[in-house]
Structure 1
Amino acid sequence: MAIKRELNYQIDNLDKSILIALMDNARTAYAELAKRLAVSPGTIHVRVEKMKQAGIIEGTRVQVNAKQLGYDVCCFIGIILKSARDYPSALAKLDQLEEVVEAYYTTGQYNIFIKVMTRSIDELQQVLINRLQTIDEIQSTETLISLQQPIDRDVIP
Structure 2
Amino acid sequence: MKKLPENYQIDDLDRSILRTLMEDARIPYAELAKRYKVSPATIHVRVEKMKRAGIIEGTRLQVNAKRLGYDVCCFIGITLKSAGDYPAAIEKLEKLEEVIEAYYTTGQYNVFIKIMTPSINELQHTLINRIQAIDEIQSTETLISLQQPINRDIQP
Q: Which TM-score band (shorter chain)? A: over 0.9
SS of 1:77's equivalent in the other structure is: strand
Does residue 63 of structure 1 match 2:62?
A: yes
Corresponding residue for residue 134 of structure 1: 133
Measured in 1, the distance between the counterparts of 2:2 and 2:60 equals: 21
TM-score (norm 1): 0.97
Measured in 2, the distance between the counterparts of 1:108 and 1:42 equals: 48
Q: Is the 8 A contact 2:29 2:43 kept in 1?
A: yes
Measured in 2, the distance between the counterparts of 1:91 and 1:5 equals: 31
Measured in 1, the distance between the counterparts of 2:76 and 2:93 equals: 12
Corresponding residue for residue 94 of structure 2: 95
Does residue 152 of structure 1 match 2:148?
A: no
SS of 1:50's equivalent in the other structure is: helix
Calculate the aligned-residue CA RMSD, in Å. 0.9
| Over 6 Å off, 4+ runs | none
Structure 1 portions without partners, runs of 5+:
none
Structure 2 portions without partners, runs of 5+:
none
TM-score (norm 2): 0.98
SS of 1:141's equivalent in the other structure is: strand
Does residue 111 of structure 1 match 2:113?
A: no
Number of residue-to-residue matches in the alignment: 156
Cα drift, residue 74 of structure 1: 0.1
Corresponding residue for residue 52 of structure 2: 53
Cα drift, residue 7 of structure 1: 1.8
What amino acid sits opposite 1:37 in the alignment? Y
